[in-house]
């Protein structure tokens, strides 16, 4: 009898130890934070401000359950490579851009058509909704990625080494442009050069370009373009360049429900928050540029109307036909976009 009781005691102890071990393992697993790798193709600057705020809030609201390994400066690839690197899991999340990958996000390029709005807020809010339309969402899914939220860079205007006021002035120089700005200018006989963003300073210094259609004023400050281009030519505005926080879809699917819920809530909040971030930074950037000698040049209103008349609707219509050929409900997307712009303007 005593022997039987002894075995019972031994078995009970073993079971208790097993249960304690399982519990300790679960506690350890719960205590270990989920670490996600974020990569920016840019140095640490305003372009990643919204993403950083989002990550800060995720870490705070999950009480440390989620941590981010933040990598800046293009260590793992440039902006063009972001979609493929996210798709393959080189890192878990980062910014992507429809301007740089129009073939991958062709439905989303409705947001970079020229002269659709001059309102930063309207573009930010309308663009965020467009990126959640089924046609756009489908393209993200195809890339094993999930759209998180939409941010907007500076208005795309022109930085130049010489004052530019007319279409004839534009024809006399070598102008870097891409996306909607390049298409619109082509319609009025202006030749443009598709120099990648990272090569703009060296291209200007070597005389490959005399001016660049790009984001101003914040980008001009953050990337030192005021040292190269002393004139900001006010176009108001070709378009606003979209940057979207994108996550690897497999990474998203593995996240616990409570973490997904925190992120989803923040995704909804971030559009208004990034508008606030931009407004706070915009004036500071212009004051900085003025101190460094940059001058604003008003482009001829008459010539700007000619560019809009010849280079807006024709480009919109061409976009619709091109996207329809790919099976995308292009006219529906374009109409939706304009309705949203009117709603938020």
Give me the chain's average pLDDT, please: 92
pLDDT at 18 over 60: no
Helix, strand, or coil here: 231?
strand
The pLDDT tens digits of the residues spanning 297-343 come to: 999 999 999 999 999 999 999 999 999 999 999 999 999 999 999 99
Domain edges within the chain: 34-344
Residue 13 pLDDT grade (very low, low, confident, very high; cuts 50, 70, 90)? very low
Which residues are CB-neighbours of 163 under 8 A, at least 6 positions away? 169, 231, 233, 297
Burial class (CB in 10 A: 0-12, 13-18, 19+), 20: exposed
Euclidean distance between CA atoms 41 and 313, whole angstroms: 33
Residue 158 pLDDT grade (very low, low, confident, very high; cuts 50, 70, 90)? very high
Residue 211 pLDDT grade (very low, low, confident, very high; cuts 50, 70, 90)? very high
Kindly state the percentage of the chain with pLDDT values over 90.
88
Residue 10 pLDDT grade (very low, low, confident, very high; cuts 50, 70, 90)? very low
Residue 277 pLDDT grade (very low, low, confident, very high; cuts 50, 70, 90)? very high
Structure tokens at 33: 């934070």
Euclidean distance between CA atoms 294 and 232, whole angstroms: 7
Mean pLDDT of the region 191-197: 93
Helix, strand, or coil here: 164?
coil
pTM, entire model: 0.87
DSSP per-residue string spanning 81-148: GHHHHHHTTSSSEEEE-TTT-TTTSGGGGGGG-TTS-S-HHHHHHHHHHHTTSHHHHHHHHHTTEEEE
pLDDT at 29 over 50: no
User: What's the CATH number of domain 34-344, 3.40.710.10, 3.40.190.170, 3.30.479.30, 3.40.50.300?
Assistant: 3.40.190.170
pLDDT at 285 over 50: yes
């Amino acid at each position: 009898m005593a022997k039987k009781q002894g075995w019972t005691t031994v078995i009970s102890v073993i079971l208790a130890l097993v249960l304690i071990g399982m519990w300790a393992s679960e506690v350890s697993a719960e205590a270990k934070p989920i670490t996600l790798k974020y990569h920016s193709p840019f140095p640490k600057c305003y372009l990643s401000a919204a993403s950083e705020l989002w990550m800060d809030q995720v870490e705070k609201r999950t009480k440390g359950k989620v941590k981010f390994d933040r990598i800046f400066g293009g260590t793992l690839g440039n902006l063009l490579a972001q979609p493929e690197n996210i798709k393959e899991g080189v890192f878990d999340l980062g910014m992507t851009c429809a301007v740089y990958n129009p073939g991958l996000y062709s439905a989303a390029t409705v947001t970079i058509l020229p002269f659709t709005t001059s309102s930063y807020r309207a573009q930010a809010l309308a663009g965020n909704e467009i990126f959640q339309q089924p046609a756009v969402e489908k393209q993200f899914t195809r890339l094993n990625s999930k759209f998180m939220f939409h941010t907007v860079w500076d208005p795309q205007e022109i930085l130049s080494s010489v004052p530019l006021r007319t279409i004839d002035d534009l024809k006399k120089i070598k102008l870097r442009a891409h996306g909607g700005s390049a298409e619109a200018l082509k319609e009025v006989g202006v030749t443009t050069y598709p120099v990648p963003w990272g090569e703009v300073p060296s291209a200007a210094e070597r005389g490959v370009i005399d001016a660049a259609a790009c984001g101003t004023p914040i980008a001009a400050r953050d990337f030192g373009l005021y040292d190269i281009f002393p004139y900001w030519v006010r176009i108001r505005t070709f378009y606003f360049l979209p940057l979207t926080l994108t996550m690897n879809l497999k990474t998203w699917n593995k996240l616990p429900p409570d973490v997904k819920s925190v992120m989803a809530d923040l995704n909804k909040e971030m559009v208004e928050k990034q508008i606030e971030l931009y407004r706070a930074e915009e004036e500071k950037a212009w004051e900085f540029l003025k101190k460094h000698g940059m001058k604003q040049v008003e482009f001829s209103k008459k010539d700007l109307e000619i560019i809009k008349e010849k280079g807006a609707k024709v480009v919109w219509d061409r976009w619709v036909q091109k996207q329809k050929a790919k099976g995308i409900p292009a006219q529906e997307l374009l109409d939706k976009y304009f309705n949203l712009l009117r709603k938020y303007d």
